[in-house]
Amino acid sequence: AQKITQTQPGMFVQEKEAVTLDCTYDTSDQSYGLFWYKQPSSGEMIFLIYQGSYDEQNATEGRYSLNFQKARKSANLVISASQLGDSAMYFCAMREGGNTNAGKSTFGDGTTLTVKP
C-alpha cells in the first residue's frame, strides 16, 4: 500500500498568491517525521521543511508552512506569496518510527507546481 499519497500531479498558481500542495500518509507508528523537498528543473533536491509527529505546532520556514493534521494523516505544504522561482516539483516524504528506520524516508510521486506571472 502506498504510504505517501500526493493526489495532485500538477498545480497552477498565480504569482503572489498562496498555494496548498496535498500530502496524505499511512503509518501505524506513533513516532514519525514528515518532510517536504523541492526539485527544480535543474534536478537537485532541496529540503524545505520538517514536521515531527509529536510537534504540537505546525512547522514554518519563511514562506513555507506545513499544515499538519495528525488525525487525518495529512501534511499539506502551504507556500505563501508564490514566486516564479517556486515553479518546480515538490515531494512529500515520511520517515517511520524506530531506530532501524533512522533517516530512511519514503517519498510520494510529487506535484509539479507552475507559477504564472
Partner 1 sequence: DAEITQSPRHKITETGRQVTLACHQTWNHNNMFWYRQDLGHGLRLIHYSYGVQDTNKGEVSDGYSVSRSNTEDLPLTLESAASSQTSVYFCASSEAQDYEQYFGPGTRLTVT
Contact 10, 111 (CB under 8 A): yes
**Considering only residues 29, 109, 114, 116, which one is a binding residue for partner 1 as defined by CB under 8 A?**
109
**Considering only residues 29, 104, 114, 116, which one is a binding residue for partner 1 as defined by CB under 8 A?**
104
Q: Nearest 5°: CA angle at 32, between 10 and 114?
A: 15
Piece of 21-29, 69-77, 80-88, 90-98 that binds partner 1 (CB under 8 A): 90-98
Nearest CB to partner 1, comparing residues 4 and 77 = 4
Question: Which residues, at least 6 apart from 17, have a Cβ–Cβ distance to it below 8 Å?
Answer: 81, 82
**Considering only residues 41, 43, 71, 117, which one is a binding residue for partner 1 as defined by CB under 8 A?**
43
Indicate the SS3 state at residue 111: strand
